[in-house]
Structure 1
Amino acid sequence: MRKLKWGMIGGGEGSQIGPAHRLGAGLDGAFEFAAGALDHRPDAGRDYGRRLGLDADRAYGDWHEMLEGEKNRPNRVDLVTVATPNSTHYEITKAYLEAGFHVLCEKPMTMTIEEGEDIVRIAEATGRICAVNYGYSGYSLVRHMKAMVARGDLGQIRLVKAEFAHGHHADATDADNPRVRWRYDPAQAGVSAQFADCGIHALHMACFVTGQDVEKLSADTVSCIPSRVLEDDAMVNFRLSGGTVGRLWTSSIAIGRQHGLTLQVFGEKGGLRWAQEQPNQLYFMPLGGRLQIIERGEANLSPEADRTSRVTIGHAEGMPLAFANIYKDLAEAIRAGKEGRPIDPAANLYPRAEDGLRSMAAVFAVAESGLAHGQWVEARPPMFR
């Protein structure tokens, strides 16, 4: 089967996210890295692209040049990943969708709700895939959690508790570090810092696993380091569309926490607990039963989990492999579209533009509620009310 062609914008040399995408896209042999505009410095981007194996005429200086170079090629890229600074996501994603490319955009998909609604409409009008990289939803056991909830193993879901708390921005003397400073600057980060950066991952995972959407929320936001304009800690209560109660804590000043993404789901018949730093184990407690540890890679898990597990039980699968599962989903979706057939249901799990829009609406709702001392506010984007 011919490989699909993949291109990347951003993610250049020294990038934190670029290697994870390149590993993820290439892992299953579905995509060939064919084009890139990898750096905001044109010459550096072209040079790095050639060193990664791109043909000289497909190692581009910027995203405009890549769009012009690819859109009329008979062998143009099938999927473009946007991994540039947040404020550029909307413009680039919009341009590539309108030119007929499928797009995987890093989060946040946009900087405003209005931009997010525009992307949703463009994706629908063009019939192109617009996916958003909530990559943690690619973990095998997260998908098994979703399958267990969907098939009723936990009964009606009463409560979901999500955390994404770390301590890597806890040093007040680090205030002038440019890698930290921009995150708390409204001119560069928008209306939210920690919730927009990490909290929306936890919120998306809560929605992904429960199959419900956030309708309203109440937030307590605080800058524990007083020099920061935007929050470095937030506690959010929320209500989901199926009646589930939600609790979320996100922080960047929690010294001793490293990554800190965890999810707990409590239903009328049992509870589940999973932590990203120990991704191979899912803890399941049935009502009146004994604690069970479900291992990634064990026999007779759900099709969603089996499809996204690559190495034998007892060996760790980490974040790049979770990203690879998003790419695996997208490869199946693109091939299904080309072949005029339905997508494999176990692969139809990649985060959509709608998820990116709902996340942005939640970011603005958290900012609004935080300023209003925890007042409950509408968290749905206008087009979904």
Structure 2
Amino acid sequence: MKLKWGMIGGGEGSQIGPAHRLGAGLDGLFDFAAGAMDHRAEAGIDYGRRLGLGDRAYGSWQDMLAGEQARDDRVDLVTVATPNSTHYEITKAFLEAGFHVLCEKPMTMSVEEGEDIVRTAQATGRICAVNYGYTGYSLVRHMRAMVARGDLGAIRLVKAEFAHGHHADAADADNPRVRWRYDPAQAGVSAQFADCGIHAMHMASFVTGQEVTKLSADTVSCLPSRVLEDDAMVNFRMDGGAVGRLWTSSVAIGRQHGLGIQVFGEKGGLRWSQEQPNQLYWMPLGGRLQVIERGEGNLSPEADRTSRVTVGHAEGMPLAFANIYKDLAEAIAAQKEGRAMDAAADLYPRAEDGLRSMAAVEAVAASGQQDGIWLDARPPMFR
């Protein structure tokens, strides 16, 4: 039986909404059953009805919560794709009402809120996932599998980056689609690192299996009118001994969506880029450079499970998102059936990951204001 899925936010014209709808629907595991698509009630109801939601197109998330609670066929999973400042309130309310939640990042606006979400998920027994969707790529999961099985030996160094140039034009300073990202009242203590840098940092942890313990940051607003940073360089240390380097920028003209990661161990190195997701470059110590192709034979179970089209054809971001939804469908089904979930699917990012990211955001902001002083990057409840 299909699971039922609902969405809050992601309305008409949204950047992220279509990727979630494509991802959730791709495998036929979820039916799009309910939504509160816009903060403007009439617009949200109209768009939801045009998407086929009928009387389950709601004018607000509060209406959706009340309406779905009252139904025997309530949604199984709710995706929260609203502005950052609303994530905490909505996610907490749906968890407490017994719904599983997939929240867009950043999960919260503060570490305290993040710890509360983790505790709420633990207390309710509900799944709370965070959409670090790029970890859904097949070859990212194969990287993780290679590291875990020891192909690289002990990991010495990880280099991650997420740089683009789409906010480099000073003429866009008053563009509302750009301006809010650098406004502390709407974005919190960080702009570019909280928006993009946490994707790169989370991927470093996801691939290596290590968590960030401390960091030092150099942050700058290259456009003087901005209060929050548009470029950051972060050095970090991980609990398994790896050294980390991370660069994130929104003023790197010529870069489009530059998320990439390199991992170097005692026995070899790996390199992957989101803009060329079908190739993973593997250099064994003393060997020759090899190109691992997505979809080729004899990859890991984690990669095979998430490779959807034949080798040589491009896979993109909505399919990576679909793998997060595929993981969550397996997790929800396993919970309903009282069984262990498929280990190759047990890779969706948790509330704990969202909390660690928020702690890193606050540490980066504080370190950047103090000339790069090294600070503890762990949330208090994990120290």
What TM-score do you get using the length of structure 1 for normalisation? 0.99
What is the letter of the counterpart of residue 18 of structure 1? G
1:4 aligned onto 2:13: no
SS at match of 1:343: coil
What is the letter of the counterpart of residue 28 of structure 1? D
Partner of 1:179: 177
244, 247, 263: which is aligned to 2:245? 247
1:36 aligned onto 2:35: yes
Instruction: Give the 5 Å matches for 1:107-256.
Output: 107-256=105-254
Distance, in Å, in 2 between the alignment partners of 1:241 and 1:184 is 31
Distance, in Å, in 1 between the alignment partners of 2:183 and 2:65 is 31
Q: Once the 2 structures are TM-superposed, how far is the Cα of residue 351 of structure 1 from its aligned partner?
A: 0.1
Q: How many residues align?
A: 383
SS at match of 2:366: helix
What TM-score do you get using the length of structure 2 for normalisation? 1.00
Partner of 2:270: 272
353, 357, 360: which is aligned to 2:355? 357
92, 97, 107: which is aligned to 1:99? 97
Q: Once the 2 structures are TM-superposed, how far is the Cα of residue 72 of structure 1 from its aligned partner?
A: 2.4
Distance, in Å, in 1 between the alignment partners of 2:235 and 2:103 is 28
What is the letter of the counterpart of residue 246 of structure 2? L
What is the letter of the counterpart of residue 99 of structure 1? A
Q: Note the alpha carbon deviations across 1:114-165, whole angstroms, 9 max, x for none.
A: 0000000000000000000000000000000000000000000000000000
Q: Once the 2 structures are TM-superposed, how far is the Cα of residue 172 of structure 1 from its aligned partner?
A: 1.1
SS at match of 1:317: coil
SS at match of 1:168: coil
Q: Note the alpha carbon deviations across 1:236-295, whole angstroms, 9 max, x for none.
A: 000001010000000000011010000000000000000000000000000000000000
Q: Note the alpha carbon deviations across 1:155-210, whole angstroms, 9 max, x for none.
A: 00000000000001111121011111111111111100000000000000000000
1:47 aligned onto 2:35: no
SS at match of 1:310: coil
Distance, in Å, in 1 between the alignment partners of 2:177 and 2:41 is 22
1:62 aligned onto 2:60: yes
Distance, in Å, in 2 between the alignment partners of 1:85 and 1:376 is 31
Distance, in Å, in 2 between the alignment partners of 1:382 and 1:51 is 45
Distance, in Å, in 2 between the alignment partners of 1:288 and 1:179 is 49
SS at match of 1:234: strand
Partner of 1:26: 25
Distance, in Å, in 2 between the alignment partners of 1:111 and 1:161 is 26
Partner of 1:312: 310
Identity in percent: 86
Q: Note the alpha carbon deviations across 1:60-94, whole angstroms, 9 max, x for none.
A: 00000000000121110000000000000000000
Structure 2 residue runs of 5 or longer lacking an equivalent are none
What is the letter of the counterpart of residue 26 of structure 1? G
SS at match of 2:141: helix
Structure 1 residue runs of 5 or longer lacking an equivalent are none
1:75 aligned onto 2:70: no
SS at match of 1:279: strand
Partner of 2:369: 371
